[in-house]
Amino acid sequence: MVERQEAREGFLVYYRDLYFTDSDGDADSISLEETSSSLSYPYGILGGELDVPAQEQKAGAMIPIHWTCNQKINIVLESRISDRLGNVSEPVNLAFSCTTPPAVDIRSFLINVLSMAIPIALILVLGFWLLFRKAPAERLPVLRSTLLLFCLLLPLRFIHLVLHEGGHA
């Protein structure tokens, strides 16, 4: 097993490359079983089928396993490779330790929100100006009623969320 890690999109990613040989070239699956975890519930990790050609298995093949640290967790997985005849390899423990919370890039989020909000605000201001440029007496009542509508929607949305989530509870 070869261990390596890298940072990708603000997350730490662990790689465990499992090297194996199978003289018959008929290894067909890998099992991953959680042996210990810092979580209070099982993570639900499964193995899978192998799609490594028989010639590669005979000469020496590699299975890449990666773990993205998107939450704080310490976990140990036991991996075993099995073939079509039911032969199972010795267990290999894969330990992943994600001790720090993932770094969240807020700047890109703010840039995305502002890049959407500014054009929308400009379009709304332009539309308001085009509608009421010849009727200045109607501007203030329309602004007041629009503001009251949005102020009314806030508590209504809050009550809706409380009732909705209370229904789940």
The DSSP code for 136 is G
What pLDDT, in 10s, does the model give residues 59-117? 989 888 888 888 888 999 999 999 988 889 999 998 888 887 666 666 777 888 889 99
pLDDT tens readout for residues 8-38 = 877 888 999 899 998 888 998 999 999 988 8
Residue whose C-alpha is closest to residue 104's, from 56, 132, 71, 126: 71
Single pTM value for the model: 0.56
Copy the structure tokens of residue 148.
């009251």
What CATH code would you report for 2-98?
Answer: 2.60.40
CA distance 147 to 139: 12
Please name every residue paired with 82 in a beta bridge, in sequence order, or none if there are none: 29, 88
Alpha carbons 120 and 169: distance in angstroms, whole number: 37
